[in-house]
Structure 1
Amino acid sequence: MKKDDFNRACREVLGMVLAGRIKDEEQLNRAKKDVSKRYHLASLPRNGDIIVQGTPEEQAATKEFLRRKPVRTISGVAVIAVMTSPAPCPHGVCLPCPGGPNSVFKSPQSYMGKEPAAMRAIRHGFDPYMQVHSRLTQLKEIGHDVEKVELIVMGGTFSARSLDYQEWFTKRCLEAMNDFTGTEWREKAASIGTAVPYIPLEEVQKANETAAIRNVGITFETRPDWTREEHVDEFLRLGGTKVEIGVQSVYDFVLTRMQRGHGVAEIVEANRVLRDSAFKVGFHMMPHLPGMDTERDLKGFKKLFEDPRFMPDYLKIYPTLVTEGTPLYRLWEAGEYEALADEEAVELIADIKAVLPKWVRLQRIQRDIPAQQIFAGVRKSNIRQLAEERLKEKGGKCRCIRCREVGHNILKGKQVHEKDIELTMETYEACGGKEHFIAFEDLTADVLIGFTRLRFPASPHRSELENAALIRELHVYGSMVPVGKGAKGADWQHRGYGKELLEHAEEIAYDAGYRKLSIISGIGAREYYRKFGYALEGGYMSKNLKI
C-alpha cells in the first residue's frame, strides 16, 4: 500500500463528508470500503486518518461528525489516565488485592496488567511522558479536542512513593502536555545546569498556565492513612485538585477482616483534611467484602450520605472480585467465601443509585479487569447499564451528577432549552464544615449544566486559607470547547455559566461574613480565574471579597 494512495483515499472521503454526500455512519463505512477497493488499500482508513487530511478549517467543520467515542470528552475535559511503576503497598496486601511487583503479573498494586491504562503503561515502560503523549495522540486522531486535560495518576498508594519519584512523575506528565504542540516554551523557562538543563517543577507549571494543552486538574489515588496534612501539602504543590482514597467500607470490623491496615478514624480524618484544603474527594467502595451481605452493603452506602463524616463528592463502586493469587482466592477455593453474583450486583447497585444525592458523581462501576481473569464475582462489563434498567423497572431514578449532566443526556437524545435553566443551591454539613452545591439546571428535563462546590471549612491547616471560604470545584459540562473559542450549537461551555456560578459563590461567602475566597485550581485554569481578579497565593487562586 503506497502512502500517497492512502492519503488520496482519505482525502476523497473527507471531501465527500464536506460536500454533504456522507451523512451517517453507514454511508461513511460504505465510502471507506469503496475507496479501499479502488486504491487497493490493505486496510480501511480510520476516522482519525481522514480528519488529519483536512486543513484546520476543514477539520473543525468535520470533527464532530467523524469523532469516535464522543463520551471521551463529553464531560468537558479530556481524561488522561497514567500509571506509576509497580511498587508494594506500604502496609502489605489486602485480602482481595491483585497485582503488585511480587505477583505473577508484575503489575502496579491492585491492577492485573490487562486493564487498558495498565497495558498502555506497560507498553511504554511506565514512562509518564510517553503515556501522556500517546494518549493525547490517540484522542486527537479520533477527532477529540484535547486542549483541557484532566490527569489521573493511578497505580497504588502514590503518596507512599518517594518525594523525588512523585515530583518526577508529575512533572514529566506536564512536560508531555507542554511539548505536544512544540518545545519553544523550554527556551523561555528558567533552568538549572547547562550540559543537561533541568527545568524545575514550578517552571513547567508556569508554562502550562498558557500552553496549548492545559492541565485543568490532577487526581491522585492513595490510601486514607497516607492522606495526612504533609501528604495533602505535597499533592497541592504538585498541582493536585482531587484525591481518590480507597475507603472500601465504613465498618471497622470489615476493614480489619480484609486486612486493610487502617480503620474508619483514618478515613474520617483524611476526608476532613482534604476538604479543608479545598480538594475534591472521591471514595472507592467495595461491596460484598468478607463479612458483608447485600443488606449490610446497602446500609453502608446510605451511611455515606447520611453521616456528615463522609459525604464524598465522587464515588467508584468496585464489587469484590476473586482473582488469581490473592488471599481472597484461597478463601474462596476453600469454600470460606461466596462471591457476589451478577444478578445480586445489579439489584444492589440499582438500590444504591436510588439513594445517591444530586451533588455526588458516580464515576465508575466495576473494574476494568477482563472477565477471563475473574474466578468468581461480577463478570458483566455493562453492570451500570443493567442497574439503570433495573432501577427504571422499579420506578426509581438515579440523580447523581453523571446521570444528569448535559453532555450525556444530549448523547441520549434529550432536548435541553436555555429558557428552562435555573440557578439552584443545596446546602449540607460535611466534616465539620458547610457545603454549598450551587448549580445551573434544567429542572423540567432534570439536566445539569454546571455547578460549583463552595465550602465554609472547619479548621484548615494551611495558613493561606485562614478566614477564607473555599471553592473546591467549578465545572461546566457538555462537549469540550477549546480555550479561547466560543460555544456553538449544542456546546454549553463558554456561555458564561462559569462566571455566574463564581459570582454567586462570592456573594454567598460575603453574606456569610467571609472576606476572602480561595479556589483550588488546575494549573491550566489559573488564567481563567485571573480574569476575575484572583491571584496565585501558595497553591490557590485567591481574592479579597468586596461586594
Structure 2
Amino acid sequence: MEEIILQILDALRRGETVDDRALVKLVHAQARRAGGDKRAFAKRRLLPFYQRVKSEDPERWARWGITPELEEGLIKVLRMKPRRSASGVATITVITKPWPCSGSCIFCPSDVRMPKSYLADEPACARAEQACFDPYLQVSARLTALSQMGHATDKIELIVLGGTWSDYPVEYQIWFMRELFRALNDDATVGESGSSARVGSSDESGIAFAPPGSSAAPASFGPVAASVSPGASAASASFDPAAAPALLDPVATEAVQREVTDGHLSYNQAIAQLYGTSTAWREAARVQRATMDELEREQRRNETARHRVVGLVIETRPDAITPEALVAIRRMGATKIQMGVQSVDQRVLDANGRGIRVAQIERAFSLLRLFGFKIHAHFMVNLLGSTPEADRLDYQRFVAELAFQPDEVKLYPCALIESSRLRGRYEAGEWRPYTEDELVGVLIDDVLATPAYCRVSRMIRDFSSGDIMAGNKKPNLRQMVESRLRERSEQTGERVQEIRFREIATSDVDVRALRLEVVPYETPAASERFLQWVTPEGRIAGFLRLSLPKAAAVEALASELRAAGCEPPVQPGEAMIREVHVYGMAARVGEEGGAAQHHGLGRKLVERACELACEAGYERINVISAVGTREYYRHLGFYDHGLYQQCKIRTEGMLHHG
C-alpha cells in the first residue's frame, strides 16, 4: 500500500496526471512485485490506508512530505465514485422500517422485509436491514463509508425513503428525524482524519457488526451495528439498543413472503402478521418516539455541527399532502418532497390501482409551491394500459402544463417484480415490457421535452437484474439514452435543456465567463423564476428557484389553515426562495477552493432574486433554508421567522436585515 501511495505522490510532484488507468497499472505492478492478489491493493483500500496512517502513525506520515496541495491531488486520485459529491453535497439515503401502506398499486413490489415498493437487495435497503432500520446507525455507517471513499461530509443531504411518510405515527416520524440529526451531531463513527471507532468487524459498506454475545449489543438483537463515539467503550454505545428490534426469523419470513407472492396475503396483512406479533418490534416501537422539543434541540446543534444538513427529503403520496401535514413536515426540517405521481393520465392511474385523482396531484403541486418545497416527482413509463406514444404525450403534459411542472423527476420504466400484483396481468398477456428501442426512444423524447428548470435525477430503480422478471435489466440505461441523445443532437441540432445533462459536475469552470439567465414560467399558485449561471456552452454551474406567490392562492391557503387551527406560514407580499444550489465537488465548510461554490455565486443569485422580487412588488422574501444552512443565510441578512428565514427587501432590491 505504502509503495503505491509514494509512487502516486512522486508522479504528482512531477506534474503528471494520475488517472484511473495509471492507477490500475501501479496496482498491478505492485501486486506482481509482492507476488500477491491485486485485489489486496484495490483502489477502495488505498484511501482508508492513507487515512489510517495519517491518524495513527503521524511520524510515518510526516516522512512522506505531503503538503496540503499534494494531499488534495492524492485524495482526488484515490476518491471512489467522485460523482457522489459532484453536485457539491454528499448524499445519505436512509430507509424507514416496514409499515402498512395506504396504497395498493399493482406495480409495487411487496417485500415483507422492507417498506412497500422497496426490495431488500437495493443497496440502501440492505444497509438499513443490517442496521435494523435504526436511523442513527444508518447515518453513522454512511458517514464512515463516504469519508473512506474520500468525500467531504460537511454538507449532507438526507433522503428519507420508505413509501408514504405520513402513514407512520407522528411520534415515530419525530424520533426518526431526531436520530438522523443526532447521528450527524455526535459524529459517532468518523474521526477528524476519517478513521472510525467501531466494535467488531465491518463489511465494505462501513457498518460494524457486534459479535453475538459481545457487550456492544445484546445477542438477541443479532447483527446490530454498535457505532460508538471515538474513544468511547463498547458499553457506552451512542445509540439505544432497545430501539433496534431483533431480526425476523428467516424461515417464518420466507413462508409469509411466499404467501404474499402467491396472492394469498396482502402486504399489509403480512406486515401485521410478522411485525405485529413480534415482542421485539413492539418493544422497539414503544421507545421509537420523541418530542418536537428534542428534535429542535438537535436541529439547533446541527446549525454549527461538523456535518450539517443542507437538504432533507421525505417521500409521500399526492393525496397525503395537506396544509397541516406540510406544516409538520417543515417543522421537522424538510426542504424537498419526493412524490409518487407516476402519471397524469387518469385512465392509467386507475388501471394501475393508484387510488389518486389528477385533481389531487394538481392541488399537491400548488400547496408544495406555496410552502416553498422543492418538488421531486416520480414518473413511470410502460405502465399497464399505456403505450409508447401515450407515454410521450403524458410526460409532455406533465412537464409543460401549468398545474404540474416539477423541479426534479425520477423518470423510470415499470419493471415486473415477482411479488407485485402486475405479475398476474403479465401472465394473462395484458401487460408487456417495451422493447429496448421502444423504451430508449420514449426516454429520449422525454428528456428533450424536459425544460431548463427541471432535473431528471434517475432513470432506473436499484433493483437487481435477478429481481426483475420482465422489463429493463440494464443498469446503464441512462448512459444508453444520453449516448443516443448526443448522436441525435449532432444530426438534428436539438439541444438538451434538462439540468443533469448540463451540470458542470467535477469540471473546473471559468467564473468570469458565466452569465446569469432568468427563465420565467407560470403556475396556478405562483409566478416562477429560475435563475441559472451558465457557461458559454450552456452548461450549468448553479441555480436558484424563486417563487412569486399569487395573492389569491396565499389568501386561500391562509383561510384553510386558520379553519384547521394553524397559523399561516406565509403572508401576502412575501416572495419565496425554494432552492439555491451551486455546483462543484463538495468541499469542507469554510474551505477555499477553485470550484464554483467558492466564488460567491450563491450570494449573487440571492441578491438577484431579491431584485426580481422587489421589481414585482414584494416587500419581503422567505427562504426554505435547511437546518445546516441557517448560518449562511443569517450572514446574508436573513433572520429566523417561523418555518422559514426572512428578510425585508430595500427599494433597490438588496438584502436588508430587520
Q: Using structure 2 for the length normalisation, give the TM-score.
A: 0.75
Cα offsets for 1:100-132 (capped at 9, x unmatched): 43xxxx222101111111111111111111111
Query: Distance in 1 between the 2:520 and 2:543 partners?
Result: 13
Q: Which amino acid aligns with 2:582?
A: V
Which residues of 2 match residues 88-103 of structure 1 at below 5 A?
A: 88-91=100-103, 93-101=104-112
Checking the alignment, whether the CA contact within 8 Å between 1:13 and 1:32 is kept in structure 2 is: no
Structure 2 runs not aligned, ≥5 long: 55-60, 62-66, 192-228, 231-289, 558-566, 653-658
Which residues of 2 match residues 281-360 of structure 1 at below 5 A?
A: 281-360=375-454
Larger deviation: 170-179 or 44-53?
Answer: 44-53
Cα offsets for 1:32-90 (capped at 9, x unmatched): 45555666777225232243134694643421222121101001100111111111211
The alpha-carbon deviation at position 177 of structure 1 amounts to 1.1
Checking the alignment, whether the CA contact within 8 Å between 1:47 and 1:143 is kept in structure 2 is: no
- Residue from 377, 381, 396 that aligns with 2:475: 381
Q: Identify the residue that residue 427 of structure 1 maps to in structure 2.
A: 520
Q: Identify the residue that residue 208 of structure 2 maps to in structure 1.
A: none
Checking the alignment, whether the CA contact within 8 Å between 1:268 and 1:310 is kept in structure 2 is: yes
Query: Distance in 2 between the 1:360 and 1:513 partners?
Result: 26
Structure 1 runs not aligned, ≥5 long: 1-5, 185-196
Please report the RMSD computed on the Cα atoms of aligned residues, expressed in angstroms.
2.3
Checking the alignment, whether the CA contact within 8 Å between 1:249 and 1:285 is kept in structure 2 is: yes
Query: Distance in 2 between the 1:341 and 1:11 partners?
Result: 47
Which residues of 2 match residues 403-414 of structure 1 at below 5 A?
A: 403-407=501-505, 410=507
Which residues of 2 match residues 103-114 of structure 1 at below 5 A?
A: 106-114=113-121
Checking the alignment, whether the CA contact within 8 Å between 1:14 and 1:50 is kept in structure 2 is: no
Q: Does the C-alpha gap of structure 1 residues 533 and 99 become closer, same or farther in structure 2, counting only changes over 3 Å?
A: same
Matched, 1:441 2:440: no
Which residues of 2 match residues 223-262 of structure 1 at below 5 A?
A: 223-262=317-356
Q: Identify the residue that residue 135 of structure 2 maps to in structure 1.
A: 128
SS in 1 for 2:512: helix
Q: Identify the residue that residue 547 of structure 2 maps to in structure 1.
A: 455
Q: Which amino acid aligns with 1:151?
A: L
Query: Distance in 2 between the 1:452 and 1:211 partners?
Result: 25
Q: Which amino acid aligns with 1:169?
A: F
Q: Identify the residue that residue 190 of structure 1 maps to in structure 2.
A: none
Q: Identify the residue that residue 465 of structure 1 maps to in structure 2.
A: 570
Query: Distance in 1 between the 2:6 and 2:17 partners?
Result: 11
Query: Distance in 2 between the 1:519 and 1:480 partners?
Result: 22
Checking the alignment, whether the CA contact within 8 Å between 1:342 and 1:380 is kept in structure 2 is: no
Query: Distance in 2 between the 1:355 and 1:51 partners?
Result: 46
Q: Which amino acid aligns with 2:162?
A: G
Query: Distance in 1 between the 2:381 and 2:106 partners?
Result: 14
Matched, 1:76 2:101: no
Q: Which amino acid aligns with 1:361?
A: R
Query: Distance in 1 between the 2:33 and 2:400 partners?
Result: 64
Larger deviation: 133-142 or 55-64?
Answer: 55-64
The alpha-carbon deviation at position 470 of structure 1 amounts to 0.2
Query: Distance in 2 between the 1:100 and 1:373 partners?
Result: 11
- Greater Rg, structure 1 or structure 2? 2
Taking only the aligned residue pairs, the percentage that are identical comes to 35
The alpha-carbon deviation at position 11 of structure 1 amounts to 5.9
Checking the alignment, whether the CA contact within 8 Å between 2:584 and 2:597 is kept in structure 1 is: yes
Q: Identify the residue that residue 590 of structure 2 maps to in structure 1.
A: 484
Query: Distance in 2 between the 1:385 and 1:407 partners?
Result: 16
Cα offsets for 1:269-298 (capped at 9, x unmatched): 111111100000011011121111011110
Larger deviation: 333-342 or 117-126?
Answer: 333-342
SS in 2 for 1:212: coil
Checking the alignment, whether the CA contact within 8 Å between 2:509 and 2:596 is kept in structure 1 is: no
SS in 2 for 1:292: coil
Q: Identify the residue that residue 580 of structure 2 maps to in structure 1.
A: 474
- Residue from 151, 167, 180 that aligns with 2:174: 167
Q: Which amino acid aligns with 2:336?
A: K
Q: Does the C-alpha gap of structure 1 residues 339 and 175 become closer, same or farther in structure 2, counting only changes over 3 Å?
A: same
Checking the alignment, whether the CA contact within 8 Å between 2:547 and 2:576 is kept in structure 1 is: yes
Which residues of 2 match residues 506-525 of structure 1 at below 5 A?
A: 506-525=610-629
Query: Distance in 2 between the 1:112 and 1:417 partners?
Result: 43
Q: Which amino acid aligns with 2:110?
A: G
- Residue from 497, 502, 506 that aligns with 2:601: 497
Q: Does the C-alpha gap of structure 1 residues 14 and 539 become closer, same or farther in structure 2, counting only changes over 3 Å?
A: farther
Query: Distance in 2 between the 1:283 and 1:243 partners?
Result: 8
Q: Identify the residue that residue 41 of structure 2 maps to in structure 1.
A: 44
SS in 2 for 1:107: coil
Query: Distance in 2 between the 1:457 and 1:124 partners?
Result: 43
